[in-house]
Chain A
Amino acid sequence: MEILKQFKYQPAKVVGGYTDRILRLDLDKNEISIQELPAGFKEKYVGGRGYALKLIWDETNAATRYDTPDNLLVMASGPLGNDPGFPGTGKFIVGTISPLTDTFIDSNVGGHFGPLLKLAGFDALAVKGISNEDVVVLIDGDAGTVNIAKAPEYDEWTNRGALSYGESLLKAVNNGEYSDTLAAVVAGEGAQHARFGIINSLFFDRRRNRIRSKQAGRGGTGTAMRAKGLHGIVVRSSLPKANGNNAVDKKLARQAGAKLKSVIAEYDAKQLSLGVWGTAGLSEYMDKFHLFPINNYQYGQSPESPKLFARVFLDKYFVKNIPDGCYYGCNLACTKGSENTLLTCGPKAGQKMGIDGPEYETVAAISDMGIFDAQFVMEYNWYCDEYSLDSISTGVTIGFLMECVQRGYLSSTDIGYDLKFGNLEAADRLLHEIARGEGFGKIAGQGVARCKQWVAARYARNNNVPEDNVIAELSKFAMEVKGLEFSMYVTRESLAQQGGYGFALKGPQHDEAWLIFIDQVHKELPTFEQKANALKWFPLIRTWFNATGLCKLPWIDVRNPQAAATPEPAKNVPTLNYYVDYLNATTGSKKSLEDVLNDSERLQLLQKLINLRQGKGTRASDQIPLRAMAPVYDNEYAYRADYYDEWLKGRTDGKIPSVREDRHRLLIEKRRQDFRQLSDIVYEKKGYTAQAIPKRETVERFGLMDQQAAKLLDKFGV
Chain B
Amino acid sequence: MTVSIEFFGIQRSITATDRITLSVSDDTKVHNVLAYVRQRYPGLPLEEGSILVTVNQHVASLDRHLKQNDAVAFVPCIGGG
Residues of A near any B CB (own CB < 8 A): 267, 269-273, 276-277, 279, 281-282, 284-285, 288-289, 310-311, 359-360, 510-511, 514-518, 521-523, 552-553, 555-557, 559, 561-564, 569-570, 572
Contact = CB atoms under 8 A, between A and B. Distances in A.
A273 B76 CA distance: 9
A557 B10 contact: no
Contact of B58 (A272, A310, A523): A523
B64 interface: no
B75 interface: yes
Nearest to A510: B80
16 contacts: A273-B9, A281-B10, A284-B8, A288-B6, A310-B9, A510-B81, A517-B77, A521-B54, A521-B59, A523-B58, A523-B59, A556-B79, A559-B49, A559-B79, A564-B48, A564-B49
For the residues of B in contact with A, the DSSP-based class is mixed
A276 B14 CA distance: 14
A359 B79 CA distance: 16
B72 interface: no
B42 interface: no
Contact of B57 (A289, A552, A572): A289
A13 B63 CA distance: 59
B54 A556 contact: no
Contact of A271 (B6, B12, B76, B80): B76
Contacts of A282: 78
Nearest to B45: A270
Nearest to B51: A271
A522 B59 CA distance: 5
Given A289-B57, A310-B9, A516 B80 contact: yes
B58 to A, nearest CB: 6
Contacts of A523: 58-59
Kindly list the 10 A-B residue pairs having the minimum CB-CB distance in the complex, ordered from nearest. Answer: A514-B80, A556-B79, A270-B45, A561-B49, A271-B76, A564-B49, A559-B77, A273-B10, A517-B78, A272-B76
Given A281-B9, A310-B9, A360-B81, 4 more contacts: A270-B50, A282-B78, A285-B9, A359-B81
A282 B9 CA distance: 9
B57 A272 contact: no
Most buried by B among A311, A517, A518: A517
B52 interface: yes
Nearest to B78: A517
Interface of B: 6, 8-10, 12, 45, 47-52, 54, 57-59, 73, 75-81
A269 B9 CA distance: 11
Given A285-B8, A510-B81, A271 B50 contact: yes
Contact of A517 (B45, B49, B51, B80): B80
B81 A521 contact: no
Nearest to B48: A564
A87 to B, nearest CB: 15
A704 B39 CA distance: 59
B50 A561 contact: yes
A523 B78 CA distance: 13
A702 B59 CA distance: 39
Nearest to B18: A306
A288 B50 contact: no
Contacts of B73: 288
Contacts of B78: 272, 282, 285, 517, 557
Nearest to B44: A270
Nearest to A286: B78
Nearest to A561: B49
A264 B39 CA distance: 26
A514 B79 contact: yes
Most buried by A among B12, B52, B79: B79
B32 to A, nearest CB: 21
B77 to A, nearest CB: 4
Contacts of A359: 81
A267 B59 contact: no
A553 B81 contact: yes
A540 to B, nearest CB: 15
A570 B77 contact: yes
Contact of A570 (B8, B50, B79): B79
Given A521-B52, A559-B50, A564-B48, A279 B81 contact: yes
B59 to A, nearest CB: 5
A606 B1 CA distance: 58
Nearest to A555: B79
A311 B8 contact: no
A562 B47 CA distance: 12
A214 to B, nearest CB: 13
Contacts of B81: 279, 359-360, 510-511, 514, 552-553, 556-557
A185 to B, nearest CB: 21
Contacts of B47: 270, 561
B5 to A, nearest CB: 14
Contacts of B12: 311
A276 B12 CA distance: 14
A271 B75 CA distance: 8
Contact of A277 (B10, B45, B57, B58): B10
B57 A557 contact: no
Given A269-B10, A271-B50, A561-B49, A572 B79 contact: yes
Given A510-B80, A517-B80, A557-B78, A269 B8 contact: no
A628 B47 CA distance: 35
B39 to A, nearest CB: 18
B45 A288 contact: no
Contacts of A267: 50
A486 to B, nearest CB: 14
Nearest to A309: B9
Contacts of A555: 79
A277 B81 CA distance: 14
A460 B56 CA distance: 45
Contacts of B76: 270-272, 285, 559
A459 to B, nearest CB: 36
B77 A271 contact: yes
Contacts of A572: 79
A510 B76 CA distance: 19
B26 to A, nearest CB: 24
